[in-house]
Amino acid sequence: MSTVSRNPPTTEPDAPASHFGSGDIAERDLGHNSVTWPEKRDLFGVLVTPTTYEEATRTIVAAGRRRESSVVSCHAVHAIVTFGSDESLRSKANTFEMITPDGQPVRWALNSLYKTELPDRVCGPELTLRVCEAAAQEGVSIYLYGGSPEVVAQLAKNLEAKYAGLKIAGYESPPFRPLTEEEDAAVIERINASGAGLVFIGLGCPKQDLFAFDHRDRIQAVQLCVGAAFDFHAGVTSLAPAWMQRSGLEWFYRLMQEPKRLARRYFTTNTIYLSRWARALLFGQPRRTIP
């Protein structure tokens, strides 16, 4: 695991590589009024928040300012199907404060089943930029967890260059293996000691969601599971053209970039998603609204 620190701690040889920012060790803001998160809707078993970029950004940064232990994840079709098909994953994700409609088909399904009239999806890469911009303006520091050492370092550099005043309290690349108990405890200590109010996690689905769930009561910050946003904003992978994103064809663009890795995933999950959506339209589905 690769850990980089701007005020480096002592690390063991195989410890996570992380960079810590210059922020002071901060106590968690335990004010009397916690942030109110928008209500959720049941989409094929997964509780999704029909939200906008503006509302999501405002709520996330408000919670980050207070360092409230919360989890936000961005779910496109693949994640909705993956979590909706697995009771264990689903029960964990449904405790999150917010799951955004990352893909256009998720937005379309919410609009068709719940008449939510969402004007756009709320995808991880764009939400990452908007939250970073707002965090820079409001003085909320961030932490980056995920990607390779090169990717996360470049991501930190690019975000700092893009948003003047953005405070990156630290960043690190975990190993491609489970953390030991000692390493896990050290990760938690580093993040909490950094003073970051927002932790962006880029480990892929569902690994990042499981990490966030397992640490939700131990990390004093909002954890944002944003997946491929790390690669996109580090310049490793290109975003689909805007017209493809608007048309719900971003999956096809990514498939052309990584056919061997994504072909089975997309053709399987897309088919399952469409069948569940069609069934819900024809026969109805439990329409739960969760405050």
pLDDT at 148 over 50: yes
Measured in Å, how far apart are the chain's first and last C-alpha atoms?
Answer: 39
Give the whole-number percent of the chain exceeding pLDDT 70: 86
Name the band, by pLDDT with cuts 50, 70 and 90, for residue 25.
Answer: very low
Express each pLDDT in 186-215 by its tens digit: 999 999 999 999 999 999 999 999 999 999
pLDDT at 5 over 90: no
Q: Give the pLDDT mean for 49-74.
A: 98
CA distance 246 to 225: 22
Q: Which residues contact 157 (CB under 8 A, 6 or more apart)?
A: none
pLDDT at 238 over 90: no
With beta carbons less than 8 A apart as the criterion, state whether 147 and 227 touch. Answer: no
Q: What is the pLDDT of residue 251?
A: 84
- The residue extents of the domains of the chain are 40-291
Q: What is the pLDDT of residue 260?
A: 86
Q: What is the pLDDT of residue 114?
A: 95
Q: What is the pLDDT of residue 12?
A: 38
What DSSP element (H or E) covers 38? none
Q: Report which of residues 264 and 224 the model is more confident about.
A: 224
Q: What is the pTM of this model?
A: 0.87
With beta carbons less than 8 A apart as the criterion, state whether 239 and 232 touch. Answer: yes
Express each pLDDT in 239-279 by its tens digit: 888 899 888 888 888 888 889 888 888 899 999 999 999 99
Q: Give the pLDDT mean for 163-191.
A: 97
With beta carbons less than 8 A apart as the criterion, state whether 52 and 83 touch. Answer: no
Kindly provide the b/e burial profile for residues 153-189, where b requires at least 16 CB atoms within 10 angstroms of the residue's own CB.
bbbbeebeeebeebbbbbbbbbeeeebeeebbebbee
Express each pLDDT in 65-90 by its tens digit: 999 999 999 999 999 999 999 999 99
Average confidence score pLDDT of the chain? 89
Name the band, by pLDDT with cuts 50, 70 and 90, for residue 28.
Answer: very low
Q: Which three-class secondary structure state does DSSP give residue 75?
A: strand
